Structure 1
Amino acid sequence: MDAGRSSRGRAGRLRETWAWPTTSLLGGLGEAARERLLEAGVPVRHPAERILMRESDRTDFVLILLDGVVKATGRTEDGRDALLAVRMGGDLVGELAALDASPRSATVTTVGPVAARRLTRAEFLGCVRRDARLADAVNRSIVAKLRTANTHRVNFTGCDVATRLARVLHHLTMTYGERVGAGAVIHWPITQPELATLCGAAEPSVHKALRRLRALGAVSTGYRSIRVEDLALLHSVAYPEP
């Protein structure tokens, strides 16, 4: 399996094999275990803005993302959609419902075109039971998601909105961004309301914090897009020296 193609072609074609990030499930697996996993299920492709899983539904299939981006959202008590997480090529989606047969905990929607493999619950559990290395990788993937969620909560304690926003952008950049010179590009559209839910702040406060980051030269913004111009500067705002 050729995993050496690390960028899309000029036409933006989806890849089914590339150098997945080592922090992802596929990127962290050995080649043999990865190939065994990718033999399971069926290949699927979805267009942008397609709901793949819906919160509270009792579906239990699993998606192995090969390329593209999805977002996980949850419904708040006042009826808003809160952005909970972003997942990209190499990541596993929907494993909790497959493992415990409980309703979906979030709605998963494609941000752009997505290529994946879809496994039934039986196929996914069979893979995990037959392959100890894969089971260990899935467990570590789940633990990593829980640790990220805990860190997210701790990092926001006692912080103002500008600091919280800087920390969210820094995390997204380090996890999903592509380094370009002193900065980085986040290759998927994120709206300011979505940033507000990630920061746990009102939209006007996020607008003000973004203006501050732009004025400092840390980021630039466009229509549904954010570019980090100076990653070191953004880090200094996110994690100021005591």
Structure 2
Amino acid sequence: MEDKGVGHGAGWHGLREEWAWPASSLLGGLTPDARDQLLALGARVRYEAGRVLMREAERTSFVLILLDGVVKATGHTQDGRDALLAVRMGGDLVGELAAVDGYPRSATVTTCGTVLARTVTRADFLECLRRHPGIAHAVNTSTVTKLRVATTHRIDLTGCDAATRLARVLHQIAMTYGEHTGDGAVIPWPITQPELATLSGASEPTVHKALRRLREAGVVSTGYRTIRVEDLSLLGSIAFGQR
């Protein structure tokens, strides 16, 4: 695949050419040498908003190293809905499960705005892991962290009402992915009420009512497919009480 648009700067629709990846991300946690080895793989590509990069159950095995932008992973439920499973941002790896085990994709991955990434073949990715134990260890750690977060999410949503579940979902998203400003944080990608409903295990009308109460309390403000947490401390109190 061609390296599309390298060095075009503003031609990347506002995406940066240099990034400060979070230390908790795969790229942010690697040593400079290991990061350079990983980023030497594959080709750099740009994807526009709404682009499906991987589809659930398809048999592809390439890996995406996200440089900038946001993608969401969704799964198809038995009743025909799309459930939001996870969000990944610059510094994260996407598609590594199919690359490692050779099984079909476990989720559909879609861009939430313009995304810059490196696309890497399964063969090149696995060879890199074999040749560089430090990178292999970092990838394994990243995968385990994702599984731990998913387990914690399921535990946190057990045994509480829908409004509390929604508060916990919003708090987790804001703390993990939000752009922090003052006492609050902005969720930097479009998120819909149906997606919040699937994440919190609630109906859309219930999410609508709970969001209205949070707005009235000054905890959040909402726009078209956008959410800003005005007071993270207050949202945490609502979500977890004295915990």
With the shorter chain as reference, the TM-score category is over 0.9
| Alignment pair present for 1:25 and 2:59 | no
Aligned to 2:102: 101
Partner Cα separation in structure 1 for residue 13 and residue 59 of structure 2:
34
| Residues 53 and 107, structure 1, Cα contact 8 Å, conserved in 2 | yes
Superposition map of 1:120-159 within 5 A: 120-159=121-160
2 CA distance for matches of 1:16 and 1:93?
Answer: 20
Matched, 1:207 2:213: no
- Note if 1:90 corresponds to 2:91: yes
Question: Residue 73 of structure 2 aligns with which residue?
Answer: 72
Corresponding position of 1:217: 218
Q: Once the two structures are superposed, what CA deviation does each residue of 1:141-193 show, in whole Å capped at 9, x if it has no partner? A: 00000001100110011111111111111111111111111111111110000
User: Separation in 1 of the partners of 2:189 and 2:230?
Assistant: 16
Contact 1:184–1:231 under 8 Å retained in 2: yes
1:15 Cα deviation from its structure 2 partner: 2.4
Compute the displacement of 1:12 (Å): 5.2
Whole-Å separation in 2 of the counterparts to 1:133 and 1:19: 21
Identity, % of aligned pairs? 69
Q: Give 1:177's aligned residue.
A: 178
Counterpart residue number, 1:3: none
Q: CA deviation at 1:16?
A: 4.2
Is the Cα–Cα contact under 8 Å of residues 13 and 114 in structure 2 kept in the other structure?
A: no
Equivalent-residue separation in structure 2 for 1:104 and 1:132 (angstroms): 25
User: Which whole-Å CA distance do the structure 2 matches of 1:235 and 1:206 have between them?
Assistant: 17
Structure 1's consecutive aligned runs of 4 or more residues displaced over 3 angstroms after TM superposition are none
Distance 1:50 1:65 in 2: 14
Question: What letter matches 1:182 in structure 2?
Answer: D
d(CA) in 2 for partners of 1:157, 1:187: 27
Structure 2: state its 5+ residue gaps.
Answer: 1-8
In structure 1, distance between residues paired with 2:93 and 2:132: 16
Given the alignment of the two structures, is residue 14 of structure 1 paired with residue 27 of structure 2, yes or no? no
| Mapping for residues 163-174 of structure 1, pairs under 5 Å | 163-174=164-175
Q: 8 Å contact 1:97–1:103 — kept in the other structure? A: yes
Q: Is the 8 A contact 1:15 1:115 kept in 2?
A: no
Query: Which shows bigger deviation, 92-101 or 16-25?
Result: 16-25
Q: How far apart are the structure 1 equivalents of 2:187 and 2:84?
A: 16
> How large is the RMSD of aligned CA atoms in angstroms?
1.4
CA distance in 2, matches of 1:24, 1:17: 16
Deviation (angstroms), 1:39: 0.4
Q: Counterpart in 1 of 2:161?
A: 160
Unpaired segments ≥5 residues, structure 1 = 1-7
What secondary structure, in the 3-state scheme, does the structure 1 residue paired with 2:241 have? coil
